[in-house]
Amino acid sequence: MYLKSAVKYQIMDGRIAIPVFYLVMFSVMVLFSISVSGLGEGTFATISGLEMATIIFLFVVGLNAFRETFRMMMQNGISRKTMFKGYVITVLILSIGMSLINAVMLWIGKAMVATKDNVLYRSLFEQLYEMRYAGNTGGVQPVLEELMFMICLSGAAMMFGYFITTLYYRLNKAGKIAVSISVPGILIVGLPIFDAVVTGGMIYRAFWRFVAFAFGLLSGPNPYYAMVSSLLAAALFAVFSWMLVRRAVIKD
């Protein structure tokens, strides 16, 4: 009973934000279809990015999913374990639900520009794994694999956001300042300088090669690499988050 309440409460947190998000995205799609209606011959336009917008949105949802929920759950006698299980189930529900909505939105977007030969509406998945489906773009396999790809990626984004917010919740003021300054400073300033001066760019080349491997772009391309990588990342962030949540106390 408590678990069901925990899930319902955390899903209801997005009852306003999610419809607003999709209203904005649909408005952008309509405006784009109107704007390209007057394109002449020799002019080509492409629209993409709905998936990345969704992933960023779910990451932000994860960033805002802990503090107030934790207070409410503790004040109503719901355990940390039940609250955390509820969030994991919420991640699964939102990842599946929003991935399905994205698939419908993509179909609508393509239908809007179907009569325009010089306008292309593409998903992130299609851009990454286009060569995999050469000659099979109308089959069931690409649709199912794209849906699984989005579910896994969305879940990882939500768990990453949750890990960050639980980490900041557990840190004291000095720790928050230290992390906020040192991590961006190292990644944006220190590491690029070190990589350019000392290693001759080897670190960033290795990093992008790792990203390409994790997304299956070195092996086919193969989207199942990205699915497994996302699931592993989500599991890792879930473990770290639980380690932080289980000893968390209510703060003012």
- For residue 245, the surrounding DSSP H or E stretch is helix 223-245
Which range marks the domain in which residue 222 is found?
Answer: 2-170+201-245
Q: What are the Cα distances from residue 111, in Å, to 105, 144, 231?
A: 10, 19, 32
Q: Are 29 and 109 in contact (CB under 8 A)?
A: yes
Query: Model's pTM, two decimal places?
Result: 0.90
Q: Is residue 196 part of a domain?
A: no
Number of structural domains found in the chain: 1
Q: Are 105 and 25 in contact (CB under 8 A)?
A: yes
Q: Is residue 139 part of a domain?
A: yes
pLDDT, tens digit only, all 252 positions of the chain: 688 888 888 888 878 899 999 999 888 888 877 776 666 666 777 777 778 899 999 999 999 999 889 998 888 888 999 999 999 999 999 999 999 999 998 888 888 777 776 677 788 888 888 888 776 656 788 889 999 999 999 999 999 999 999 999 998 888 888 888 888 888 888 888 888 888 888 988 998 899 999 999 987 789 999 999 999 999 999 999 999 999 888 876
Q: Is residue 88 part of a domain?
A: yes
Q: Is residue 180 part of a domain?
A: no
Q: Is residue 110 part of a domain?
A: yes
* Strand 45-47 relative to strand 119-121, pairing: parallel
Q: Is residue 182 part of a domain?
A: no
Q: Is residue 190 part of a domain?
A: no
Q: What are the Cα distances from residue 148, in Å, to 54, 106, 142, 244?
A: 15, 15, 10, 29
Q: What are the Cα distances from residue 92, in Å, to 12, 99, 184?
A: 14, 11, 30
Distance CA 78, CA 66 (A): 14
- φ, ψ at 22 (rounded to 5°): -75, -30
